[in-house]
Structure 1
Amino acid sequence: KMMLADNGQQLKENLVTFDDWMKGDIKASCVFGQLPKFQDGDLVLYQSNAMLRHLGRKHAAYGKNDSEASLIDMMNDGVEDLRLKYIKLIYQEYETGKEAFIKDLPNHLKPFEAVLAKNKSGFLVGDQISFADYNLFDLLLNLKVLCPTCLDSVPALKSFVDKIAA
């Protein structure tokens, strides 16, 4: 949504109610039996990261060359690794795992901190925003809800969030 908004594009959302989903028709129409679904003209996509990569290519947020695109893929995969840990915590281990997750969070944030500090552009790769930056920003906003002080020890990430939010 943020990438579309930054590119002056509007997103037409069709929200699916629980009751409509449970009827089964919508689920049956989805390639993998799950949402979200994204349509861009005749192209229909069902996986979140496929959507991100498509929008990255379409809106010049996928690097300036193949090397940058590969690094963006790598960084996005790192974001997704941390997102999976976060999702597991939220949906399966919240009460028993929250303290340990928060304690270990700086270790998970250090690679992103190091990449941002080294790049000096304020972005993960190159000198322009990429879909991986949008994905990291989204995840960091969620992590800040879980732990408002989680960026206190990672100044480059804190600056990154402030820059993207502006």
Structure 2
Amino acid sequence: MRMLLADQGQSWKEEVVTKETWLQGPLKASCLPKFQDGDLALYQSDAFLRHLGHTLGLYGKDQREAALVDVVNDGVEDLRCKYATLIYTNYEAGKKEYVKALPEHLKPFETLLSQNQGGQAFIVGDQISFADYNLLDLLLIHQVLAPGCLDSLPLLSAYVARLSARPKLKAFLASPEHVNRPINGNGKQ
């Protein structure tokens, strides 16, 4: 979401609540994270992305593309769940096997790219979507986990480079707000 907002030239205010503050105060009864857009309060990261997709015109150019954006985003979230399971429950014992299987988990995204302007555009259509930002985030995280994970996937590798070079996104990715933010709450990468 931060990459999407930065790349789209949107400003935002982020309020980080520490676990200790959350456990001790009235926030304990609430669901976090929370996204506030005017008087609209949303919970759940995918809801944030979909809302921003609708609001900022990042949900495909028509119903067909919107459905494909949803498919991609759901695929990203499926892999993100596998990643989270590894990071938070089975890191030491499971990392080697996870990294070994990673190219097969990423191959469907490579295939989708190849079917869209030969992999030279976005994941769906000819304009960026919220799913592109979500996929980019997941790919960047995986490059930290396994630096060579995109070596056998040239279209995904070029896609990461191409999106990361977008001027506003490049600036955000180099900013202390991004660079100094831990990837995972438990410090594992």
Pick aligned residue for 2:82 from 68, 80, 85: 85
2:60 paired with 1:59: no
The correspondence of residues 102-117 of structure 1 with structure 2, limited to 5 A, is 102-117=99-114
Partner of 2:122: 123
Structure 2 residue ranges without an equivalent (≥5): 166-189
Task: Report the residue type matching 1:9 in the other structure.
Answer: Q
Moved over 2 A (4+): none
Tell me what 1:7 maps to: 8
- Equivalent residue number for residue 132 of structure 1: 131
Using the size of structure 2 for normalisation, the TM-score is 0.83
Which has the higher mean CA deviation after the structures are superposed, 76-85 or 17-26?
17-26
Displacement of 1:27 in angstroms is 2.7
After TM superposition, list the pairs within 5 Å mapping 1:23-42 onto structure 2.
23-28=24-29, 30=30, 33=31, 35-42=32-39
2:147 aligns with 148
Deviation of the 1:24 alpha carbon: 4.4
1:6 Cα deviation (Å)?
Answer: 1.4
Separation (CA, whole Å) in 2 of partners of 1:110 and 1:7: 28
Secondary structure, aligned partner of 2:105:
helix
CA distance in 2, matches of 1:11, 1:131: 17
Q: Which moved more, 1:93-102 or 1:17-26?
A: 17-26
Q: How far apart in 1 are the matches of 2:121 and 2:110?
A: 11
Deviations 1:141-163 (A, max 9, x none): 11000000000000000011001
CA deviations on 1:101-122 (whole Å, 9 max, x unpaired) are 0000010010000000110242
User: One-letter code of the match for 2:155?
Assistant: A
- SS of equivalent residue, structure 1 residue 38: strand
Higher relative contact order (CA 8 A, sep 6+): 2
Tell me the percent identity.
59
Q: How many residues were matched structurally? A: 162
RMSD between aligned alpha carbons? 0.9
Question: Which sections of structure 1, spanning at least 5 residues, go unmatched?
Answer: none
Deviations 1:122-142 (A, max 9, x none): 211100110111000000011
- The alpha-carbon deviation at position 10 of structure 1 amounts to 1.1
Which residue does 1:71 correspond to in 2? Answer: 68
Cα distance in structure 1, aligned partners of 2:70 and 2:28: 29
Tell me if 1:162 matches 2:166.
no
